[in-house]
Each structure stands twice: as C-alpha cells, then as structure tokens.
Amino acid sequence: MRAVIQRVTKASVTVDDKLISKINLGLLILLGVETNDTKEDIDWLTRKIANLRIFNDDKGVMNNSLLDCKGDAIVVSQFTLYAATKKGNRPSYIKAAKPDVAIPLYTTFVSQLENTLGKPVGTGVFGADMKVDLRNDGPVTIIIDTKNKE
C-alpha cells in the first residue's frame, strides 16, 4: 500500500457536485492499493498513520498524533499512486490492484482506521471522478509505502 498523507485544516470530497465527505483539522489520506497487499499492510499502515506525530503541540513542535489531537480523516482511493513512468510518457498502472482486489482492501483499511481512531472516517467513492479540496497545513505531506518502510 502506498499513502500520501496530508495534514489539513480542512478537506472535502465531492462527486457529481454532491458533497461526500468533509473534515476540519485532520488528515487527508490518498491510498493506493497494490496487487500483493495484505492485511498485514493494513495493520501496519493504519497504526503508523494514527500515531504519526505530525501535529503541533502547545509549543509549536510536531509532537502530537491524529489520536492526540482528536483530528478527523478522509481516505480517498487513488490507483494513480502506482503509476510507472520509466518508459515513455504514458504512465502504466500495471502494479495497481484491480477493483476486485482493491475494494475489499480499501474498505478494510477504512474500517480499521475507524476502529483505531474510535470515530467515523470520511471516504471518497471508489472509482468515481472525485473533486478533492484541501487546505494543507504547514504544508505537511508524508509519503508512506508499506513495501519500503523508511
């Protein structure tokens, strides 16, 4: 799994001019699912995201996690995170999981993050043409790949 995590002061997802999800302080998580991803990837990534200390404490130092600040989250599926651009100019998405694999892993990820945070998590609509609006705070943007745990 590959996630682009953005600390936001607000974010929303709209599909066909209909508001699907909206948060204030929290994380907008763009999630790509690879064919070989497993429950272990979900376990590791949800735990990592919930505990990632990227929110400021009262001294302005990034010492607090999403759990600490009781922030919200939106998870948006994004297969383009697995774009291969080595050859030519047209990206290949061969590493991205097909919907029959990706959807169950995506929904499990969302459910597990909800359980970890103890609150509902916003989503987009899998496979839809989504409009994602956000105000990145910082800006703070972190990329995490479960196959390359740096």
The active-site residue out of 6, 78, 112, 116 is 78
Instruction: Find all residues with CB under 8 Å of 150, minimum gap 6, and list them.
Output: none
Q: HSE of 144 in the Cβ direction (CA atoms, 13 Å)?
A: 19
| Amino acid occupying residue 86 | K
> Is 80 one of the catalytic residues?
yes
Tokens of 75: 């998870």
- Output Rg (C-alpha) for the chain, integer angstroms: 15
Which of 9, 35, 38, 80 does the annotation list as catalytic? Answer: 80
Q: Of the listed 46, 79, 109, 146, which one is catalytic?
A: 79
Task: Give catalytic status of residue 79 as yes or no.
Answer: yes
Separation CA 138–CA 136 (nearest Å): 6
Q: Which residues are catalytic?
A: 78-80
